[in-house]
Structure 1
Amino acid sequence: MKKIFSPLMLLTFLAISGCARMVAWETPYDKESAWDKVGGYSDKQIGEGKFELTYKGNSVTSIEKIDQYWHRRAKELCNGEYTFEKNNNMTNKDSAVMAGSTYTPISLSIPVVAGIVTCKTNSE
């Protein structure tokens, strides 16, 4: 039996019809990297059992999801229990989109959770 549509023909049809679009994914749980701009955590030890912890998302990840990731990393850093001081906020990230031969500046809101994690000891 002869195929009516090949995969290439289908992709061409979708692109021409305007149905194809760029797909964005939620930020995964992972360490932030310099070359991968989807977000992630960064942490720095600032004292005995005390850490600065930041988790950055992307424009399609909710602040609630980033907050869950932040607490997951805090638990890993402390091997369990911890106390914290943090703030949840959205920050604007300036970017540019190419349309034809020109760049159009845009501003995207991205979720960021940052704060201080203090690990509980057995005596606490």
Structure 2
Amino acid sequence: MPLSRQALAACVTLLCVGCVTPYQPMTGSGGYHDMEVAPGVIQIEVRGNPQTHLGTLQGYFHRRAAELCAGREYDWSFDTGSQGGPLLFIGKSSSTSIVVTDSPVNRRHWVKGTIQCRDASRATPEDVALEAAVPLEEEAPPRP
């Protein structure tokens, strides 16, 4: 008995749902791995399978960084790339967001970088510049 189109579509959908590398510790099919490389500096590596887009792995990098920093802000930089196929793509980003369009066919993407969690009391140069640019409200002189 042949499968109906709806049943076939449902089977294909179920097969594809499990294709993207899930957010998980590193396994043979991908995931994240982190280690402290210097006091307060943590290296995070995220790898995916051919069905996982680079943007997804970048999101996993930031998700892991947020977990490691327990919700505090963090400074970061990372390299991205892919292996497999005839080309090797490498991009760089540092403390800014980038948009990368990719074709994951037979390519395994990766993101590898470092983070440093900020202390709640530590101001960044951007914070200092912002405070200097915004004048504080002055108290009005007392009325006679």
TM-score grouping bracket, smaller chain normalisation = 0.5 to 0.7
Name the residue aligned to 2:84: 92
In the superposition, the TM-score normalised over structure 1's length comes to 0.65
Name the residue aligned to 1:73: 64
Aligned length: 93
| 1:27-63 Cα shifts (integer Å, max 9, x gaps) | 0000002xxx220000111223210100001100100
- Cα separation, 1, equivalents of 2:121 and 2:110: 32
Name the residue aligned to 2:20: 26
More strand by share: 1
Structure with bigger gyration radius = 2
1:76 to partner: Cα distance: 0.6
Q: Which runs of 5 or more residues in structure 2 are unaligned?
A: 4-11, 86-104, 123-144
| 1:42-87 Cα shifts (integer Å, max 9, x gaps) | 0111223210100001100100011001100011111121111111
The question of 1:44 aligning with 2:35 is answered: yes
Percentage of matched positions with identical amino acids = 30
Q: Which runs of structure 2 are paired with 1:52-71 in the superposition (5 Å)?
A: 52-71=43-62
Instruction: Name the aligned partner's letter for residue 88 of structure 1.
Output: T
What's the Cα RMSD here?
Answer: 2.6
